[in-house]
Structure 1
Amino acid sequence: MSEAPEEKAAAAVPPPARAKRVQGGVATADVVLSAHSGGNAELFPRILALHVPPGAVIADVTYGQGIFWQRVPPGRYTLLPSDLATGTDCRALPHADASLDALVLDPPYMEGLLRPKAATRGGLGSHAGLRNYYAAGGGHPATAQGLAGGRWHQAVLDLYLAAAAEARRTLRDHGILIVKCQDEVSANRQELTHVQIITGLAELGFYARDLFLLVRANRPGVARLLRQVHARKNHSYFLVFQKVPAGQAVGRYRTRDLPLHRP
């Protein structure tokens, strides 16, 4: 049976073209980059702007002289600053469970600051209090609480992990943890501290959301050099983590916004 004329006409009409997908956004070079040359005060506000929404409650538990916050617009966040001067150990915080949106951690990250013997311990000036309190076997109150860490570079890593465990307790689900660290050479052994922290925090239930490399603007000096074996470190890291809710696999977690919930 031959097709009717109207059926032939319908068959000859091509299907309508699919609408092209139009990408949103605008072209720009004004973005936050992963590598930065300069100081902490310049980079830190950019990290906050990218990862922590305005109005968030942020505890900086190693506040010190507040260098990180020098260029953060006042009033943008609710800041809870604390450190040894306020009697606060970053491994034993006064905050309630799941009470914080974000937490900032910048403890001593060089093994020389935490050596068991005070005579060989590094660090002067503003570092003196940190090195004496957090030093391995230093006899500080944390020792009685079972918070004292190992020796040499292990003391550095133990301090980070213990503080991160306390951060997990005080952060609400999907909360942000910003960690400052630096790699080091200890006892002629290359210690990639930032890798060790990322691995250790994954085991604690933190997703590594971002990484920033900060290169110092000037060249570091060396007082005595017999023979160079490793590259001299002139960079540090800001690591940004997100608290994965209990029961969820870190390996399957994806970056998500941090909506603020207030009563």
Structure 2
Amino acid sequence: MERQKNGRRPQGPRSEATDEGPRGGTATGYQTLASIWFQGDSELIERMLAFYPRRPPQIILDATVNAGRFWRGSQRKVIGLDIDGRHRPAIIGDHTRMPFQDHCFDVVVYDPPHIPNQGRDRRKDFNRRFGLMLKANARRGYNFSHLYPPFVTEAYRVLRPEGLLLCKVADYVHGHRFQWAHVEVLRAATAVGFTACDCIVKVRRGPIMSPRWKRAHHARRHHCYWIVFRKSKKCE
């Protein structure tokens, strides 16, 4: 065995697997997706659609399409569903009672409202972007968790076997309570048969603030979650 002058054995070339592959090249057979995401939702969705499906998705449903900001510039075939006709979705309908046949989508995307009954900011259209027109009362715990069970039941029905459900969920504080939205979504989805496969933490910019707030009792939410479910008994 050869030794260098300092007595150490010479080391051969080594390869480190990264997102870009060995030594910055293109990885073959092993691609990764970061669990913390700092860019926009549309870029992340595109990465997830390339990473998680067992085969390239042919038809995608955005069940809460709103103004369609997730798909700006996308060439994918996406059907947008929204209960608010002002957004001009492809189909006006309720995501808890979808007007679709069984097993007709490869992927369902869900971005539920998560800021109930907040104050208005005239500089921003929070009403349309964040579902402020919906009311969450004391009987419902000041949250939207009552929407999750009927939605995931419908999502399970319209998805094909091995199909994916991609949910964007944000925890928040409201009514002097911490609202564990991502936990409620997990419970609802797994109860109807989905398998929870992955979770990506997306860092959010500029969370909503109010000049009426005088004292903080909770850490400020600077992130939300993208939870990946599969209509299958296994993830891989």
| TM beyond 0.5 | yes
Partner of 2:234: 254
Between the aligned partners of 1:122 and 1:94, the Cα distance in structure 2 is 34
Which residue in the other structure is 1:95 paired with? 100
Instruction: Give structure 2 stretches of 5+ with no counterpart.
Output: 1-14, 21-31, 86-90
Larger mean CA deviation between 206-215 and 103-112 belongs to 103-112
Task: Go from structure 1 to structure 2 and tell me whether the alpha carbon gap of 1:102 and 1:39 turns closer, same or farther (over 3 Å shift).
Answer: same
Counterpart among 121, 127, 151 of residue 140 in structure 2? 151
Gaps of 5+ in 1: 1-24, 114-119, 138-149, 245-252, 257-263
Equivalent AA in structure 1 for residue 199 of structure 2: L
Residue 179 of structure 1, CA deviation: 0.7
Does the C-alpha gap of structure 1 residues 45 and 190 become closer, same or farther in structure 2, counting only changes over 3 Å?
same
Which digits, 9 at most, give the CA deviation of each residue in 1:234-255, with x for residues without a partner? 11111110113xxxxxxxx321
The answer (yes or no) to whether the contact 1:111–1:152 under 8 Å persists in 2 is no
Distance 1:28 1:71, change over 3 A: farther
Cα shift readout 1:61-114 (whole Å, capped 9, x = no counterpart): 111222112253x1xx4321121224211111111011111111112122326x
What do you get for the CA RMSD once the two structures are aligned?
2.9
How far apart, CA to CA, are the structure 1 residues paired with 2:73 and 2:183? 29
1:111 counterpart SS class: coil
Higher relative contact order (CA 8 A, sep 6+): 1
More helix by share: 1
1:37 shift after superposition:
1.4
2:64 alignment partner, SS class:
coil
How far has the Cα of 1:38 moved from its partner?
A: 2.8
Written as runs of structure 1 = structure 2, the 5 A alignment for 1:155-194 is 156-194=144-182
Kindly provide the amino acid, as one letter, of the partner of residue 28 in structure 1.
Answer: T
CA distance in structure 2 between the aligned counterparts of 1:223 and 1:50, rounded to whole angstroms = 42
Match of 1:209 in 2: 197
Contact 2:117 2:135 in 1 (8 A): no
Scaled by the length of structure 2, the TM-score of the pair is 0.74
CA deviations over 1:136-157 (Å, ceiling 9, x no partner): 58xxxxxxxxxxxx62434x11
- 1:78 corresponds in structure 2 to 77
Distance in 1, Cα, partners of 2:60 & 2:102: 14
Question: Contact 2:115/2:132 (CA < 8 Å) preserved in 1?
Answer: no
**Paired position in structure 2 for 1:33:** 34
Which amino acid is 2:182 matched to?
Answer: H
Q: Deviations over 1:28-77 (max 9, x none)?
A: 333310101132123221111111342421111111222112253x1xx4
- What residue is the counterpart of 1:64 in the other structure? 66
Q: CA deviation at 1:219?
A: 6.3
Q: Is the 8 A contact 1:102 1:171 kept in 2?
A: yes
Report the count of equivalent residues. Answer: 202
Deviation at 1:181, TM superposition (A): 0.9
Counterpart Cα distance in 2 of 1:127 and 1:170: 28
Does the aligned pair in 2 maintain the 1:42–1:71 contact within 8 Å? Answer: no
Runs of 4+ in 1 over 6 A off after TM superposition: 120-124
2:117·2:136 contact (CA, 8 Å) conserved in 1?
no
Instruction: Compute the displacement of 1:128 (Å).
Output: 4.4
Structure 2 counterpart of 1:48, one-letter code: L
